[in-house]
Amino acid sequence: MLNAAVVGGTGYGAIELIRLIDKHPNVQLKKVISHSQSGTEIQEVYPHLTQIVETVMSEWSIQNLSKEVDVVFFATPPGVSQKLIPECREHNPSLQCIDLSGDFRLTNPADYETWYGAPASPQQYLEEATYGLTEIYTDKIKTSKLISNPGCYPTATLLALLPAVQQGWVNLSSIIIDGKSGVSGAGRKVSLATHFSEVNESVKAYKLGAHQHIPEIEQFLQRETADPSNSPVQVTFSTHLIPMTRGLMCTVYFDLNEPKTTTELINFYTEVYSKHPFVRVRPEGTYPATKEVSGSNYCDLGIHTDPRTGKVTIVSVIDNLVKGASGQAIQNLNVMNGWDVRTGLLEIPIYP
């Protein structure tokens, strides 16, 4: 049984972690860390936890934490974990750290500074961190103590693209990603952008050409390309806010370097993900909806090749708070500790 701490206790990512930890047979929640709400019972902030999780949130103290827990999840805004994780690694190298922010995803500090508008994490920890896209980097995750959990949009996008990219089938200059997310992806902080009257009955594009997930997607497409001599990968990525709480859809378009039918691609993707229970490839002619993965750790893929244009369309859906954040963090924890990857995550999607 591992003892766990969650840092950033009042955010949606943290509260989803707490929900998943509570039903995990091998993990118990020991600490919830919140600078803004320290000293407060967590059920005062989230009444749905009454008589289920009763703990007083506390301030960060690496001296106390390293004696009491085996794993720390960081569900914090950008710029926080890059200060706290070095303390963990220096104070107790055996402590497992799983970061849900973007602080350790980009290996080039200049990219982080450009896209996040803040100083990057120390280089040694950028090099130490393993990118936690579980289905792709399983072997590296097994031996890592520091996991950089992928962003929600990159998770949906990379699971759709990487199998074909690794085969050299994708014209890398043709990739277009149309992303749509529910408002929980913006976090719990009050803002005009997620105000009910602003969001309801409306679809809004945002951060066009400026979303911080763009360099993350490009970095790992470049890393996995079949021909490393290719020019730097650049994608067209547009994001939209949808008037729903949970759910994320990325519709990915690209040109093929060689002819492939829909059946061929579906058969290939089905084989690639046959040993990965949380990626489900739909039969030909069917395409997933966000509601069909709500509350679960599944990523569902629907694939279509247009013989007229030669373009491929892949529809990828996830729950942004589960497979796009906390569920994938638990999935990585399972891999790190040699447990069945499904442990604590066999949740049937909530429907309707």
Instruction: Note if the bond before 352 is cis, omega within 30 degrees.
Output: yes
Asked whether residue 271 falls in the same domain as residue 124, the answer is: no
Give domain status of residue 106, yes or no: yes
265: CATH: 3.30.360.10
152 catalytic per annotation: yes
Of the candidates 338, 346, 257, 232, the one whose C-alpha atom is nearest the C-alpha of residue 295 is 346
Backbone angles phi, psi at 148, to 5 degrees: -100, 105
Q: What is the pLDDT of residue 66?
A: 87
**Given the residues 88, 152, 250, 299, the one annotated as active site:** 152
Share of the chain above pLDDT 70, in %: 100
Asked whether residue 209 falls in the same domain as residue 247, the answer is: yes
Residues 62/327/137/27 CA torsion (nearest 10 deg): 50
Mean pLDDT along residues 164-176 = 96
Give domain status of residue 19, yes or no: yes
Give domain status of residue 295, yes or no: yes
38: CATH: 3.40.50.720
Asked whether residue 109 falls in the same domain as residue 202, the answer is: no
Give domain status of residue 8, yes or no: yes
pLDDT at 230 over 80: no
Asked whether residue 22 falls in the same domain as residue 61, the answer is: yes
Average pLDDT across the chain, whole number: 96
pLDDT at 250 over 80: yes
Asked whether residue 101 falls in the same domain as residue 219, the answer is: no
Give domain status of residue 340, yes or no: no
Which of 68, 93, 128 corresponds to the end of one domain?
Answer: 128
Q: What is the pLDDT of residue 74?
A: 98
- Domain count for the chain: 2
Asked whether residue 298 falls in the same domain as residue 254, the answer is: yes
123: three-class secondary structure by DSSP: helix
Which of 82, 113, 128 corresponds to the end of one domain?
Answer: 128
Asked whether residue 90 falls in the same domain as residue 164, the answer is: no
Asked whether residue 166 falls in the same domain as residue 259, the answer is: yes
Least confident of 100-104, 149-153, 182-186, 318-322: 182-186
- In whole angstroms, give the CA distance from residue 142 to residue 63: 26
Give domain status of residue 339, yes or no: no
User: What are the pLDDT digits (tens) for 124-148?
Assistant: 999 999 999 999 999 999 999 999 9
Mean pLDDT along residues 161-174 = 96
Are 316 and 164 in contact, with CB atoms under 8 Å apart? no
Give domain status of residue 275, yes or no: yes
Amino acid at 17: L
Asked whether residue 91 falls in the same domain as residue 230, the answer is: no
pLDDT at 7 over 90: yes
Question: Residue 202's domain spans which residues?
Answer: 153-320
Asked whether residue 103 falls in the same domain as residue 158, the answer is: no
Q: What is the pLDDT of residue 191?
A: 85
- In whole angstroms, give the CA distance from residue 192 to residue 198: 7
Asked whether residue 235 falls in the same domain as residue 290, the answer is: yes
263: three-class secondary structure by DSSP: helix
Least confident of 14-23, 104-113, 229-238: 229-238
- In whole angstroms, give the CA distance from residue 27 to residue 165: 36
Give domain status of residue 103, yes or no: yes
User: In the structure, what pLDDT confidence band is assigned to residue 287 with cuts at 50, 70 and 90?
Assistant: very high
Asked whether residue 115 falls in the same domain as residue 179, the answer is: no
Are 62 and 91 in contact, with CB atoms under 8 Å apart? yes
